[in-house]
Chains A and B, each alone.
Chain A
Amino acid sequence: MKLTLKIWRQKNAQAKGKLVTYQLDDISPDMSFLEMLDVLNQKLIIEGDDPVAFDNDCREGICGMCSLYIGGRAHGHETETTVCQLHMRSFDDGQTVTIEPWRAKALPVIKDLVVDRGAFDRIIQAGGFVSTKTGAPQDANALPIPKQDADKAMDAAACIGCGACVASCKNASAMLFVSAKISQLALLPQGQPERDKRALAMVHQMDMEGFGNCTNEGECEAECPKAIKMTNIARLFREYYRATFTYEEQ
């Protein structure tokens, strides 16, 4: 396969970036998208150019590290797929492919296609946990949890924290990510004692980080590689409003 790549190159956070065009000839349809970028980088290195920086680690769709905006879509054109699970056979011979980083004020570019997602960690630090200590909690089966609740919590917990929801949203809202964690814990009995505090603290941190608001556009759900549903955002709103009425910080 032959490809024309237009890749965002930006030396560092301060530098101005631009799209640079590259040609690749010998691409096998069996390669993954990231292996295609490996091939490009090997070529650039030998030719004395700077290889393209991009985040990746597991290459199995679970670590949430890979984060490319391909042809105007977060994680490319396939549904429920991360970049590292894309294969070249789903592209056409001779196609031109544009590759950009996530773009959002709260996720600034570090270099080329690599962004800083520290904001996500800080939102979790604000309240995305159950305050239990390592030690001697009760026997695991002392707390029966209906299967359907556990399954729903698991659906939400499947979020890999990649940031595609933010990248695909015209408001750069992190609502889908935040709602996934809030839902998981709101659906489980373990999450109840801190339910109000959690919703307020996480939403507050999300606002502080500079993420936009949700206006029900739905791109996040469409692009989420783990099929996190917008019903979680509805639950986030319920949790949040409930908390604003009932919760009083001591």
Chain B
Amino acid sequence: MTVLDSKVPGGPLEKKWDQHKFDLKLVNPANKRKFSVIVVGTGLAGASAAASMAELGYNVLNFCFQDSPRRAHSIAAQGGINAAKNYPNDGDSIYRLFYDTVKGGDFRAREANVYRLAQVSNNIIDQCVAQGVPFAREYGGMLDNRSFGGAQVSRTFYARGQTGQQLLLGAYSALSRQVGEGNVKMYERREMLELAVINGKARGIVCRNLVSGDVESYTADAVVLATGGYGNVFYLSTNAMNSNVTAAWRAHKQGAFFANPCFTQIHPTCIPVSGDHQSKLTLMSESLRNDGRVWVPKKKGDTRPPEQIPESERYYYLEEKYPSFGNLVPRDVASRNGKIVCDEGLGVGSGQSVYLDFADAINRLGEDVVRARYGNLFDMYHHITDENPYKMPMKIFPAIHYTMGGLWVDYNLMSTIPGLFVLGEANFSDHGANRLGASALMQGLADGYFVLPYTIGGYFAGTELEDVDNNHSVLKDLENQSTEKTNKLLTINGKRTVDDIHRELGKLLWEDCGMARNEAGLKDAKEKIPKIREEFWQNVKVPGEAGEFNQELEKAGRVADFLEFGELMVTDALDRKESCGGHFREESQTEEGEALRDDENYAYAAAWEFQGVDKESTLHKEPLTFEHVKLTQRSYK
């Protein structure tokens, strides 16, 4: 085991980033043209990075698997984006945003990175407004803010319920301008399958052209992955259908360490699963908990309709257990308690849901006020479930939503492979063991607009790079491997579909490595995953051919990677015997059943090194020190 060097610059916290920017060597403007960069991903992180680097003069090659960069999964974010502007004058500051994020992450993030994130948060809002992003405004013409995710200040900027869409379209417009000017070459419907590491540096990628099926190689002086999160390893999640771990996993197999894979976030208010046909889960904004009351019947197997269950026979478990925060406890606490009551047999509907009841709010405020606040969410719920939430309580259940883990990066956002940078949800950097609401959009844009464009220059200015073209033997070998793997998938011709096996993996992980984890369950999962993997390679059925548009083949490749990655997730969860943030180890809880951290033994980021499929990965630790935010146990009682 080695100790990882995070390359955090010295000096006082507030000065680190400015000093570092000053210390980074610069690439002279005329020379920037000579450098090329591959950016995989066009979400908030990828599009903002590709556009900003092209503006600086680099040659950018940008890839995504959708038919247009504008459709990256970031488009689906609803709630908003945080910044420390303090426009409402309610006491917010860069320091407070930093503090809240470190604490919210349950002390498993790097202080210096988080501080920088808070610092650049304000530039993001300025940048987006300059692009014409139509944020919500007050009558006076100033930007409107709301509070989000339990924060005590209003620091969230939003564009109706479509903040992610508007921010992404802003970044996409900047990207489109650069494509139009010829500074970015855009490759849509391409799936990166391999990372090429040549003489120890990331220098290229191998892709499948999803339309023709051709295997294509591209080279550059550096590679940036902004490929999103891996929540779909659970099969059901709130992520878009095609989100996957392949790019990150392939880089991991080439030597990039994977950090904290077991840190996943479960969102408490999603629409429950309605049957085996379910393909994905839909998130209902967290803001609903401001006025909705969560309850289940006190009696097991009580099948009476909710309105016939008298007040005295209802169990408002959040209000009873957490009198001071009540229904507004953080995401992880709300989710876990929902699971506990369902495990006790108190769940409603299918047994895997709880009520979120607005009857009191409607009585107190009137239906009109409730409609004004939540109208579109109520409509969405009604549309999907065919039940009217004005008349009967909603049914909700937690769902996988976000992944804090990701490829390990240093302060410069560079992975353990020189020249491989990782941005956005795909890296592990800023959210520790739990992400606060409205902070993922902030991080993606911070990485892409304001961090990488500087740090990548430092890398180029200080690195010798020899000429490489796509006939290099490393690329040829990777192309052959890809082709072989594809042919293998197409010839197994077994009896089970890709989805069927993916669902089996997802169910197992949800049971054993989901909202609550324990040693026995994790060991069980660790034994079972290799068997599912074997089943896949023996018995999957992938139709069609390699040289054509073939969506089942795309899925098969992604699930093959999830089947390897899932095992690492479980390994990481086994290693971390403490509870923290989204990672709840049943063995490590307080007397009241709350998550209990073990700072003495686990105040580190776990960075895993790949040793081979079916071999144990090696753990490397990045020790985390907290100089500014005092380590405390969270309490919401």
Contacts and interface: CB of A to CB of B under 8 A. Distances in A.
Interface string A29-58: 011101100110110111011110101111
Interface in B124-148: 125-132, 134-143
Interface stretch (A69-77, A182-190, A216-224, A233-241): A182-190
B123 A136 contact: yes
Contacts of B449: 134
Interface stretch (B21-29, B171-179, B333-341): B171-179
Contacts of A127: 180
Contacts of A50: 543-544
Interface residues of B, number: 78
Interface string A129-153: 1111111111111011111001101
B576 interface: no
A200 interface: no
Contacts of B186: 121
Nearest to B186: A121
Interface string B61-73: 0000011111101
Given A60-B282, A137-B127, A147-B141, A154 B134 contact: yes
A128 interface: yes
B126 A121 contact: no
Contact of A57 (B66, B136, B277, B500): B66
B543 A190 contact: no
Given A30-B274, A35-B278, A87-B384, A184 B130 contact: no
A12 interface: yes
Contacts of A57: 66, 71, 73, 240-242
A160 to B, nearest CB: 8
A170 interface: no
Nearest to A52: B551
B52 interface: yes
Given A42-B497, A48-B543, A110-B211, A118 B188 contact: yes
Interface string A159-170: 011000000000
Contact of A117 (B68, B75, B179, B500): B68
A137 B174 CA distance: 14
Contact of A130 (B130, B164, B274): B130
Nearest to B550: A53
Contact of B541 (A46, A63, A85, A110): A46
A116 B549 CA distance: 12
Contacts of B173: 124, 128-130
Interface residues of A, number: 78
A114 interface: yes
Contacts of B211: 110
A118 B211 CA distance: 13
Contacts of A158: 160, 162, 165
A65 B48 CA distance: 21
B169 A51 contact: no
B275 A134 contact: no
B450 interface: yes
Interface string B408-440: 000000000000000000000000000000000
A6 interface: no
A39 B277 contact: yes
B73 A58 contact: yes
A50 B159 CA distance: 42
B577 interface: no
A59 B241 contact: yes
A89 interface: yes
Given A128-B176, A188-B134, A62 B165 contact: yes
A154 B549 CA distance: 36
Nearest to A86: B383
Nearest to A116: B67
Contacts of B188: 118, 121
A154 B159 contact: yes
Interface in B265-312: 274-275, 277-280, 282
A133 B55 contact: yes
A157 interface: yes
A150 to B, nearest CB: 4
B126 A140 contact: yes
Q: Which of A129, A130, A188 has the most CB of B within 10 A?
A: A129
Interface string A75-98: 000000100010101000000000
Given A110-B211, A125-B179, A147-B138, A35 B279 contact: yes
B73 A124 contact: no
A141 B142 contact: yes
Interface string B59-97: 000000011111101011000000001010000000000
Contact of A191 (B69, B129, B132): B132
B453 interface: yes
Contact of B275 (A28, A153, A157): A28
A45 B51 contact: no
A16 B172 CA distance: 35
B548 interface: yes
B164 to A, nearest CB: 8
A87 B383 contact: yes
Nearest to A150: B137
Contacts of A45: 497, 541, 543, 552
B277 A31 contact: yes
B277 A63 contact: no
B380 to A, nearest CB: 9
B592 interface: no
Nearest to A131: B177
B277 A62 contact: no
Contact of B69 (A31, A111, A116, A121): A121
Given A49-B543, A120-B68, A35 B137 contact: no
Contacts of A125: 176-177, 179-180
Given A130-B131, A141-B87, A190-B132, A146 B141 contact: yes
A124 B132 CA distance: 14
B219 interface: no
Given A45-B541, A57-B71, A130-B132, 18 more contacts: A31-B275, A35-B279, A42-B499, A45-B543, A51-B551, A53-B549, A56-B241, A62-B165, A63-B76, A117-B67, A118-B67, A124-B173, A128-B176, A130-B173, A132-B130, A139-B126, A190-B129, A190-B131
10 contacts: A35-B279, A59-B280, A62-B162, A81-B383, A85-B383, A124-B172, A134-B127, A147-B138, A161-B71, A184-B132
- 9 nearest interchain CB pairs? A144-B141, A125-B180, A129-B173, A137-B130, A154-B134, A134-B52, A140-B129, A111-B549, A153-B134
